[in-house]
């Protein structure tokens, strides 16, 4: 399957390993490579495929790490509640262990909303969110209407299989 760095020719592999190149320098460097367009396109497509695959793997790994971090924090919170309960049950506000000095304290009360529908309007904030309907603007422009502040812009994409 294309997209593995080891399948790139040496020129492109060397470029792929350079993380210090900004897009302009990269494009200039690619322009300086005198390969046939088919070879250049094949190597660049393989590079794109590799970058896309690497990004997907990194996103998946980041999600795993984030989920794991959330689970760790939830477990730590649960253990804190347990420890508070045990110290309270033992009648201890402070305790020193070999590694830690533990103490419990009363926090300021926090507001808990039991049923938001029962809260009087005087305690509610209304948020107004304004957004642009790009689909409606596109249709209006296609029908010949002038929409100040907007225009249609054609673009191209590439499919790599």
* Residue 3 half-sphere exposure toward CB, CA atoms < 13 A: 11
Domain borders along the chain are: 5-112
Q: How many contiguous H segments (helices) and E segments (strands) does the chain have?
A: 4, 2
pLDDT band at 155 (very low <50, low <70, confident <90, very high): very high
Yes or no: say if 63 and 25 are a contact pair by the CB < 8 Å rule: no
pLDDT band at 7 (very low <50, low <70, confident <90, very high): low
Q: How far is CA 35 from the centre of its chain?
A: 37
Strand-pairing partners, residue 101, are 96
Measured CA distances, 131 to 48, 126, 134, 135, 147 (Å): 34, 16, 9, 12, 15
Mean pLDDT of the chain: 91
pLDDT digits (tens, 9 = 90+) for 9-64: 888 888 888 888 899 999 998 998 988 899 999 999 999 999 999 999 999 999 99
Yes or no: say if 102 and 96 are a contact pair by the CB < 8 Å rule: yes
Specify the range with the lowest mean pLDDT, choosing from 11-15, 82-86, 118-122, 143-147: 11-15
């Amino acid at each position: 399957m294309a997209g593995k760095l080891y399948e790139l020719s040496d020129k492109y592999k060397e470029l792929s390993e350079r993380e210090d190149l900004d897009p302009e320098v990269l494009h200039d460097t690619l322009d300086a490579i005198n390969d046939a367009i088919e070879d250049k396109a094949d190597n660049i497509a393989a590079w794109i495929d590799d970058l896309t695959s690497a990004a997907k793997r990194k996103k998946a790994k980041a999600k795993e790490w984030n989920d794991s971090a959330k689970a760790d924090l939830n477990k730590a919170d649960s253990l804190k509640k347990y420890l508070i309960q045990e110290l309270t049950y033992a009648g201890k506000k402070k305790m020193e262990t070999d590694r830690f000095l533990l103490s419990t304290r009363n926090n300021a009360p926090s507001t808990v909303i039991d049923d938001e529908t029962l809260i009087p309007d005087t305690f509610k904030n209304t948020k107004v969110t304004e957004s642009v309907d790009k689909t409606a603007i596109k249709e209006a422009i296609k029908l010949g209407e002038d929409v100040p502040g907007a225009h249609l812009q054609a673009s191209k994409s590439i499919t790599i299989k």
